[in-house]
């Protein structure tokens, strides 16, 4: 009896470890990522250069700068202005925060260097936001692109 129980338990454990991922989610991700060929990634409109963002700000284009850094990071250096929103990535996908995001104008997602912004942008795209871009190089690149020649005027 012990042998049968042990064999059944061993089989069950092996079966579980063989299917240790969610098939449905894997299929969804396959659908999402399968079009990402080398050419598609190179031609991606997901990323925008910091200089282009500065130009849009200077031209007073109706865009939203979404800062997904932590509260601590934003307390040291923060984006300001009517078009700036701060929502840490850990809070971004709560309904009350998603409801604050515009659906009709471009959202430029910013973090320190671009990694969290990329994750946030992909998530926003996956749930239906269409005009989402990542500021390539993050706040570092945005700070470097900010100079008297291309900074917005008040």
What's the confidence (pLDDT) of residue 88?
97
60 and 27 housed in the same domain: no
pLDDT digits (tens, 9 = 90+) for 82-98: 899 999 999 999 999 99
The whole-angstrom separation of Cα 86 and Cα 64 is 10
28/82 same-domain check: no
Shared domain for 101 and 74, answered yes or no, is yes
The domain in which residue 15 lies consists of 2-34
Domain count, the chain: 2
Q: Can you count the helices (H) and strands (E) in the chain? A: 9, 5
Judgement on whether residues 24 and 49 belong to the same structural domain of the protein:
no
Whether 15 and 60 share a structural domain: no
User: Six-digit token pair at 65?
Assistant: 């700068």
CA 7 to chain centre: 46
Give me the mean pLDDT over the 35-43 stretch.
75
Neighbours of 5 (CB within 10 A): 9
Which run of H or E residues covers position 19? none
Q: Does one domain contain both 93 and 27? A: no
**Residues 101, 128 within the same domain:** yes
With respect to residue 15, please indicate whether it lies within any of the assigned structural domains.
Answer: yes
Residue 121 falls within a domain, yes or no? yes
Query: For 95-150, what is each residue's pLDDT tens digit?
Result: 999 999 999 999 999 999 889 999 999 999 989 999 999 999 999 999 899 877 76
Mean pLDDT of the chain: 86
Burial pattern 43-52, b for ≥16 Cβ within 10 A else e, equals: eeeebbebbb
Q: Is there a domain that residue 122 lies in?
A: yes
Q: Are residues 17 and 88 in the same domain?
A: no
Residues 23 and 92 in one domain: no
Average pLDDT over residues 37-47: 78
Domain identity same for 120 and 83: yes
Give yes or no for a contact between 129 and 107, defined as CB atoms under 8 angstroms apart: yes
């Amino acid at each position: 009896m012990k042998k049968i129980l042990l064999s059944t338990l061993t089989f069950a454990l092996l079966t579980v470890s063989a299917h240790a991922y969610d098939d449905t989610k894997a299929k969804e991700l396959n659908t999402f990522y399968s079009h990402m060929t080398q050419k598609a990634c190179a031609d991606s409109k997901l990323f925008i250069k910091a200089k282009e963002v500065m130009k849009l700000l200077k031209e007073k284009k109706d865009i939203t700068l979404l800062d997904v850094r932590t509260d601590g990071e934003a307390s040291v250096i923060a984006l300001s202005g009517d078009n700036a929103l701060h929502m840490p990535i850990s809070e971004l996908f709560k309904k009350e925060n998603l409801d604050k995001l515009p659906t009709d104008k471009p959202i430029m997602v910013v973090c320190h260097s671009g990694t969290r912004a990329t994750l946030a942008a992909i998530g926003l795209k996956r749930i239906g936001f269409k005009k989402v871009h990542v500021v390539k190089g993050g706040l570092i690149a945005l700070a470097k692109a900010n100079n008297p020649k291309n900074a917005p005027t008040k």
